[in-house]
Amino acid sequence: MIVISLIILFLSLPIFRSSFAGYLIALPLLPIWALLEAFKLSVHVDQDRISMKMRPFTSKSHTWDEIDTAEVIDYGFVGGWGIRITKSYGMVYNARDSKGILIHPKDGKKFVFGIQSVGEAKKVISNYT
């Protein structure tokens, strides 16, 4: 929503109302806007599995039998939104903040799903691990 407001504000500048050059400047912004609107990270935990979808890029799912341990952590700043590779946490799927569920699968390839509801995540994980 903020992105849309900024684009509308940007396009209301005088250069965009009266010249073709304004449209040439705004045109490259459309793919960036579309990507930001489409980007969404969702984590789902139930009695069978924990899964993540990072739209439009990837998805990942593990059953509780495949997971050795899971814990809620504060992983700090990892360089912004998206998918990051770190030494400490393996793959980090981040969309906001610095809190996440650190998962240690039995295959040894740890990773983190970013979350917003720390209390709820701790409660759910304690039920299944």
pLDDT 10s digits, 62-106:
888 898 988 888 887 766 777 788 888 888 888 777 888 899 999
- Which pLDDT score is estimated for 108? 86
How many CA within 13 A on the CB side of residue 41? 15
Could you read off the pLDDT of 112-124 as tens digits, one per residue? 888 888 888 888 8
Could you read off the pLDDT of 27-54 as tens digits, one per residue? 777 777 776 676 677 888 888 888 888 7
Asked whether 114 and 99 are in contact (CB, 8 A), the reply is yes
Give every strand in the sheet of 99-105, ordered side by side: 67-74, 99-105, 111-114, 90-94, 82-86
Rounded to whole angstroms, the Cα distance separating 124 from 111 reads: 18
- Which pLDDT score is estimated for 8? 62
Q: Where are the domains of the chain?
A: 2-37, 40-128
53: part of which helix (H) or strand (E)?
strand 49-55
Q: pLDDT band at residue 3, thresholds of 50, 70 and 90? A: low
- Which pLDDT score is estimated for 83? 78
**Residue 22 dihedral angles phi and psi, to the nearest 5°:** -60, -40
- Pick the more confident residue, 110 or 23: 110
- Which pLDDT score is estimated for 23? 66
Could you read off the pLDDT of 20-30 as tens digits, one per residue? 666 676 677 77
